[in-house]
Structure 1
Amino acid sequence: MTRPWLSVIGLGPEGEAGLTAGALAALGEVAHVVCAERHAGLLPEALLAGKTIHHWPAWHQAEAVLRPLEGQSVAVLGTGEPFHFGVGTSLVRWFGIGALRVFPASSAFDRACARLGLSQQTTPCLSAYGRSLGAVLLQARPGRTLLVLGDGELGLRLGPALTAMGLGASSLTALSQMDGAGESRLDARARDWDQSVDPITTWAITPEADEDANPDWPALRHEPFGLPDGAFRHDGKLTKREVRAVSLSALLAAPGGGLWDIGAGSGAIGLEWLRARPEGQVFAIEPHGERRGFMDKNARRFGLGHDERDRFTVSGAHAPDAFDAAGFSPDAVFVGGGLSREGLLEGAWQALNSGGVLVANAVTLEGQAVLSTWRERVHGDFTTLSVSRGEAVGRFTGLRPLMPVLQWVGRKP
Structure 2
Amino acid sequence: MHEAPWLTVLGLGEDGLDGLPPASRQVLERAKIIMGPPRHLSLTPDTAAQKVEWPVPFADGLPILTGFRGRPTVVLASGDPFWFGAGSVIARNFEAGEWTALPGQSTFSLAAARLGWPLESTLTFGLHAAPLTRLRPDLAPGVRAILLLRDGKAVAELATYLTETGFADTCLHVMEALGGPRERSRSVSLTEALLGGFDHPVCVGLEVAGEGRAFPKASGKPDEIFETDGQITKRPVRALTLSALAPQRGEHLWDIGGGTGSISIEWLMCDPTLTATTIEPRADRAERIRRNADTLGQDRLNVVHGTAPGSLGGLTLPDVVFIGGGLSNELMEWLHAALPEVTRLVANAVTLESEALLAQWQNKLGGELLRIELAQASALGPRRGWKSAFPVVQWSVTL
Range of TM-score over shorter length: 0.7 to 0.9
Of 264, 268, 272, which residue of structure 2 is paired with 1:270?
264
1:37 counterpart residue number: 38
CA 1:165–1:287: 2 relative to 1, 3 Å? farther
1:402 counterpart residue number: 389
Of 320, 323, 334, which residue of structure 1 is paired with 2:322?
334
1:52 counterpart residue number: 50
Is 2:138 the counterpart of 1:151? no
CA contact (8 A) 1:258 1:282 kept: yes
Is 2:385 the counterpart of 1:385? no
Q: What SS does the aligned partner of 1:193 have?
A: helix
Normalising by the residue count of structure 2, what TM-score does the alignment of the two structures yield?
0.81
Q: State how far apart, in whole Å, the 1-side matches of 2:184 and 2:384 are.
A: 59
Count residues with an aligned counterpart. Answer: 395
- The Cα RMSD (Å) is 3.6
**1:87-102 map, 5 Å:** 87-102=86-101
Of 296, 321, 331, which residue of structure 2 is paired with 1:302?
296
CA contact (8 A) 2:160 2:194 kept: no
The alpha-carbon deviation at position 168 of structure 1 amounts to 4.6
Q: What SS does the aligned partner of 1:10 have?
A: strand
Q: State how far apart, in whole Å, the 2-side matches of 1:4 and 1:129 are.
A: 29
Gaps of 5+ in 1: 305-309
CA contact (8 A) 2:123 2:146 kept: yes
Which residue identity lines up with residue 35 of structure 2 in the other structure? V
Q: State how far apart, in whole Å, the 2-side matches of 1:255 and 1:278 are.
A: 8
CA 1:67–1:164: 2 relative to 1, 3 Å? same
CA contact (8 A) 2:9 2:77 kept: yes
Q: What SS does the aligned partner of 2:3 have?
A: coil
CA 1:120–1:299: 2 relative to 1, 3 Å? same
- Higher deviation after alignment, 105-114 or 151-160: 151-160
1:3 counterpart residue number: 4
Is 2:301 the counterpart of 1:312? yes
Overall identity of the aligned pairs, in %: 32
Deviations 1:178-225, CA, capped at 9 Å, x for gaps: 122333345342897367743422233443343xx4x5xxxx123242
Q: What SS does the aligned partner of 1:82 have?
A: coil
CA 1:321–1:102: 2 relative to 1, 3 Å? closer
Normalising by the residue count of structure 1, what TM-score does the alignment of the two structures yield?
0.79
Q: State how far apart, in whole Å, the 1-side matches of 2:93 and 2:37 are.
A: 18
Q: State how far apart, in whole Å, the 2-side matches of 1:99 and 1:293 are.
A: 43
Of 212, 215, 219, which residue of structure 2 is paired with 1:221?
215
The alpha-carbon deviation at position 4 of structure 1 amounts to 4.2
Of 335, 345, 358, which residue of structure 1 is paired with 2:332?
345
Which residue identity lines up with residue 264 of structure 2 in the other structure? G
CA contact (8 A) 2:247 2:270 kept: no
The alpha-carbon deviation at position 345 of structure 1 amounts to 3.2
Which residue identity lines up with residue 300 of structure 2 in the other structure? R
CA 1:31–1:95: 2 relative to 1, 3 Å? same
Is 2:350 the counterpart of 1:370? no
Which residue identity lines up with residue 178 of structure 2 in the other structure? M
1:201 counterpart residue number: 202
CA contact (8 A) 2:137 2:297 kept: yes
The alpha-carbon deviation at position 12 of structure 1 amounts to 0.8
CA contact (8 A) 2:133 2:295 kept: no
Deviations 1:5-57, CA, capped at 9 Å, x for gaps: 44433211111221113322333344443333322211343xxx333333332
1:307 counterpart residue number: none
Gaps of 5+ in 2: none
